[in-house]
């Protein structure tokens, strides 16, 4: 699949495949400014926690360039830069990778506080390119570990889009499916349509069909029937944030799918990189849930489908309790219950490995 996040160094612009236009039109959206970056994030030109993180990393670089053009690297550019990074960090509240990517860039700046604006912008570009490659590698590792959980001939249900479009490429939930196929297994996919923004019907089906992976779209409210009829062997979803206790926050409707899977004895897996695990958030109920514009519910495109004046709930995400999750597939393996323990353990292992790499370098 064409890379949907591209940095054009010649024009100094981040070029994003506009996911609002899919599947019927492949159009591109250019980001150069803080305003354009926030617009792209809030209107879901780009969406999916890892993809949001990669976009934010490039965004730090672009904002540094923007501030340099305005201030000429003189005056109080540092405060202006911090203020705009704060705006970027808070563009959307639920996906933790957004804040994580901005904080990572700020930490690198704080470690070299005397850097002038031009070298800082260059540093952030290097970091963004590295993060882009890192996320792709993470997804492929998630695919290897998760693919081993699926059996040859399985039909896998997924909810929303946690594929190449939601990451740097390959995908998390769809990475598990791709990983199983790479292991020689025949896998079919049921993509829940995922109302109201239809990420499953528009995006998951689009990228799987392009890759020749058998996919069938199902209405969200058909999940129970399909499971009862034995048409689903496993459920694999992504996550926008995973709490310290293993609760996973994903697209609205995921909780209901997990409850149905539990009722029917179907394993329910969450696939996400470690960067999506927020150890500072104790449970899923502590995660801020984005409440989006009613128009996404009242209209399909430009066609109004609801009566005027009727209130709308448009919560974009819901938390799935850890007890409904059979495993959390990460780039370092499959975490199992009790998740508070396995999450603590995997981060300790990652820290030890990172320290070992540093020691070797020294």
Binding site members? 47-49, 92, 199, 250-251
CA 158 to chain centre: 14
Choice among 240, 247, 278, 318 that is catalytic: 240
Q: Within a 10 A sphere around the Cβ of 12, how many other Cβ atoms?
A: 15
Per the document, the length of the chain is: 362
Residue 53, CA distances (Å) to 60, 101, 105, 167, 310 in order: 11, 5, 11, 9, 35
Tell how many helices (H) and how many strands (E) occur in the chain. 12, 16
Distance CA 165, CA 174 (A): 10
Q: Binding site for substrate, residues?
A: 47-49, 92, 199, 250-251
Q: Within a 10 A sphere around the Cβ of 142, how many other Cβ atoms?
A: 30
Identify whether the C-beta of residue 81 lies closer than 8 Å to the C-beta of residue 63: yes
State the burial class of residue 111 (Cβ atoms within 10 Å of its Cβ: 0-12, 13-18, 19+).
exposed
- Is residue 240 annotated as part of the catalytic site, yes or no? yes
Catalytic residue ranges: 240
């Amino acid at each position: 699949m064409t890379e949907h996040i591209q940095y054009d160094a010649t024009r100094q612009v981040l070029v994003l495949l506009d996911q609002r236009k899919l599947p019927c039109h492949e159009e591109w959206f250019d980001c150069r400014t803080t305003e354009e970056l926030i617009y792209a994030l809030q209107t879901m030109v780009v969406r999916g926690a890892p993809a949001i993180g990669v976009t934010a990393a490039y965004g730090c670089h672009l904002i540094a360039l923007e501030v340099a053009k305005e201030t000429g690297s003189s005056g109080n550019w540092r405060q202006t830069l911090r203020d705009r990074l704060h705006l970027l960090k808070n563009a959307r509240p639920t996906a933790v990778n957004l804040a994580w990517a901005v904080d990572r860039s700020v930490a690198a700046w704080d470690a070299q506080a005397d850097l002038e604006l031009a070298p800082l912008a260059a540093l952030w570009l290097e970091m963004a390119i590295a993060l882009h490659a890192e996320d792709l590698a993470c997804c492929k590792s998630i695919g290897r570990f998760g693919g081993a959980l699926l059996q040859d001939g399985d039909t896998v249900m997924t909810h929303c889009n946690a594929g190449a479009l939601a990451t740097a490429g390959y995908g998390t939930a769809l990475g598990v499916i791709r990983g199983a196929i790479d292991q020689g297994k025949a896998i079919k996919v049921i993509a829940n349509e995922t109302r109201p923004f239809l990420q499953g019907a528009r995006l998951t089906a689009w990228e799987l069909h392009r890759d020749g992976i058998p996919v069938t779209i199902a209405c969200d409210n058909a999940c129970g029937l399909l499971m009862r009829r034995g048409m689903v062997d496993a459920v694999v979803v992504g996550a926008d944030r995973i709490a310290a206790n293993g609760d996973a926050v994903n697209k609205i409707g995921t909780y209901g799918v997990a409850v149905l899977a539990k009722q029917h004895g179907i394993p329910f897996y969450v696939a996400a990189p470690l960067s999506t695990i927020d150890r500072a958030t104790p449970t899923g109920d502590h995660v801020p849930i984005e409440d989006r514009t009613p128009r996404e519910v009242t209209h399909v495109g430009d066609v109004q489908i609801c009566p005027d004046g009727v209130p709308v709930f448009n919560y974009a995400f819901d938390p799935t309790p850890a007890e409904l999750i059979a495993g959390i597939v990460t780039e370092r393996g499959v975490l199992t219950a009790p998740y508070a323990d396995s999450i603590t353990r995997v981060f300790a292992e990652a820290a030890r490995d990172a320290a070992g790499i540093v020691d070797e370098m020294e």
